[in-house]
């Protein structure tokens, strides 16, 4: 899942040329399901075989690229807070969110864990 200028785009890495889009996260997810159903209907109507990944039960797993993930949470979490939670300095986070640099796998995991840590801290707050 990628955040663009006009909304969220969804691609299917295991299925070529199938894309979904929405102005917000939920609309993009709904469109992804709709596009996938349409794709499967077309294949069935044409007597074509479904890709193995779509045979039987399947579940869509929506993943952000790091640049889009950081842009998505930008208005919710400050880079300073994420830097503290992830152990990655704010300048480096800025490079990742702008697309100037791509994080290694270990850095990506630190960012995700940092976001989860912040989320858990917020959930622990009671009224």
**pTM given for the model:** 0.71
pLDDT of residue 111: 95
- By DSSP bridging, strand 8-11 and strand 19-22 are antiparallel
pLDDT of residue 127: 62
d(CA 69, CA 74): 9
pLDDT averaged over consecutive 10-residue blocks of the chain (127 residues)? 88 88 93 93 91 82 86 89 95 92 93 94 83
d(CA 115, CA 20): 26
d(CA 85, CA 82): 5
Strand partners, 8: 3, 22
And the tokens for 46? 């044409």
């Amino acid at each position: 899942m990628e955040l663009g200028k006009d909304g969220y785009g969804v691609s299917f890495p295991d299925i070529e040329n199938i894309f979904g889009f929405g102005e917000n996260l939920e609309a993009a997810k709904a469109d992804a399901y709709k596009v996938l159903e349409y794709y499967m209907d077309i294949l069935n109507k044409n007597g074509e075989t479904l890709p193995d990944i779509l045979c039987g039960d399947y579940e869509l797993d929506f993943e952000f690229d790091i640049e889009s993930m950081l842009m998505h949470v930008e208005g919710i979490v400050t880079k300073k807070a994420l830097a503290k939670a992830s152990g990655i300095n704010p300048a480096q986070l800025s490079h990742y969110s702008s697309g100037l640099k791509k994080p290694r796998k270990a850095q990506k995991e630190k960012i995700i864990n940092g976001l989860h840590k912040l989320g858990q801290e917020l959930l622990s707050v009671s009224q």
